[in-house]
Amino acid sequence: MTVKVAVLMGSASDTERMAAASSTLERFGIEADVRVLSAHRNPVQVAEFASGARQAGYSAFICGAGMAAALPGVVAAHTTLPVVGVPLSGSALNGVDALYAIVQMPPGIPVATVGIDAARNAALLVVHILAVADADLARRLEEFRADQSAPRS
Ligand code: RP5
């Protein structure tokens, strides 16, 4: 069965900064379902999608947002699947606003926060989480690590 991860972003303007999330997941044979959904502009749709995600066969969320970045936290409020938040730059505060918004979740509703614009690491963290119970994914992760460490000419 194909593993499926939801990759959400708050705006179509986030597409370029979030592109590495889906390409990295796909490199590991994980299906990335990419959607533009804003916690502020589409609050009802975000709640509905997050609430039904486990039942719909998703294994995890990657949520990228900029500015007052509520998306990862709102998704986490509606699911017990792992949520990785990606603070995005592009604002007057260059992503520090989004970083603070995403990283400081209240106790009980966790979001794993990666660096500003670190969509690739968000995907790799999801691969690590899923590889705990997936030997084939764990093997591919080992290969990826070995390849990454190999000297380049
Ligand atoms: C956030 O506001 C989005 O994630 C985006 O990073 C930022 C600006 O959105 P747009 O005004 O470009 O749609 O919600």
For a ligand 1 pocket test, name from 8, 9, 14 the mutation site with the most ligand atoms within 8 angstroms of its C-beta.
14
Q: Is the pLDDT of residue 151 over 90?
A: no
The two three-digit tokens of residue 122, written as one number: 């968000």
Is the separation of the CB atoms in 137 and 2 below 8 Å?
no
Q: Measured from the CB, is residue 88 less than 6 Å from ligand 1?
A: yes
Ligand 1 close to Cβ of residue 67 (< 6 A):
yes
153 pLDDT higher than 80: no
User: pTM for the full model?
Assistant: 0.96
pLDDT(1) > 80: no
Report residue 30 as tokens. Answer: 């994980």
CA of 14 to the centre of ligand 1 (A): 7
